[in-house]
Structure 1
């Protein structure tokens, strides 16, 4: 029997359904963060809009409460970027990401860190933080630099806080409209539980969990998409171990796409509402082939930190807030109905932002 081919529109609707972007979900913040396998949170305020676009009745205090209540945590994980993940996922997944995190830091600072003993730096960092007091990266490095005077301060600091010691970035970092530097504390100290050790044996059990969870939130997807999302090397043992549980499709380029049998795959003609996405949203960045949601000429927007608007499920405009004006820049001409829908969703977003926006401006397509 020939393998079913899913076109870009079919993949788009599957992605929107699993990302809670076809209709807002009633899940709690921890439930949504778990389902989405985390939210990219390098820019601390962006996840609030990401959750507002996905959850019915979302209010900023819901995420604030999850962060201060330690059910959700900010930490370096997928792709060595800061993500919001649940406490359980941070502890379960961190050891599987350790090698990748080290490799990426060393790839950036290879010559500067060539003579550094990684285990000695890790042990020294843990000793500094053993008193349970949160510290900034600069405060940690200040103690280390006498022992390791050669490497640049930033290289030594990133090695420690982003790779060698699993860290949480503590509130008020990441709280609604709160400013402040990053204060670090080991995950095990903040969450009062040790990071799960990496299981031994065949089949990469943590990788299997990552694969299933990724497909539930992003599938159908290729192994290259999984690798692009998490930064790990494709998880071949995990894919092999669970392949018999999965269904297989092809995209229009002939790539093999894996999926969970019972995951939603709406009809390609399912209506898709306008949605405003924050910078670096994983609905766009979570794939190697992003053609299901963004056109090739606009790919640079997704990595340059532009906030985007989905119209008919695709990236069709950018948006920002400046001088109390929510300004929307279309990437193509909108129909009258599309303009009406964009303005309506923009006004709802303005209301959510609460006093920051006094006017919505929809520009003409450039």
Structure 2
């Protein structure tokens, strides 16, 4: 029995290790006008949120002038994108003599429907040229996996027939009296209760953001727990305020529906998208931020709530601030 258990455990460990290691794939060559490019990738399959390393090696007459068609360094990370893929890092590749012969990129995505097939390039000094370097095929797998088919679910059991209840006249009278007394007691209880103020969605969101602003990254769980709490607050506010299923959607689905709903302007959707994407990298890819960035993100969430809460609530908030 013990040997069978150890054998099964070993098989599971081998399966997990095999899944974690993707098969190396052959580089892909692209011949352009005066420029030859050899593209290689670190693996052929990854899950959403994981990183992919890409190396482009240049040769030919125009190799020294070859560059990426987007900024190779940017203070604003939003400008370093390849469609739905985020460019996390870019660095040049040099040969033994110190000559620049290529470039390396690190990219990631949370979209499984848009494969990265090529990298746009520019080259040439007198006459600028543009083209695309083809990449090996890379597949992106969802963390969620296949969706469940609702048709596969069935009731566990049908309705239970308990039969007709039979009461005597005395029992019926007693039951009615007890029900009346219970109703009177309940009514008296509710009349004596103090009215409870219902917390509106924007009030709850601002209260939770104020707590996050005070605690910052010092909350139990650190950066990971902080951004989970921050995005949960924003998503819950949007769900309650605008009836959008934000808590059950991916970042891509949520921002698409938010833009289509007409409840937000483009600037608000862009700020919300940037906040949620950063939080996704922290939660799924293990990225880290400092206290300054955490405070900035809380301030951005507060501004989003203040801009989108009801006008009457906005006027009341401004009056209190005076």
Bin of the TM-score, shorter chain as denominator length = under 0.3
TM-score relative to the length of structure 2: 0.22
TM-score relative to the length of structure 1: 0.20
Whichever of the two has the greater Rg, that structure is: 2
Question: Larger % of helix: which?
Answer: 2
Greater relative contact order (Cα < 8 A, sep 6+): 1
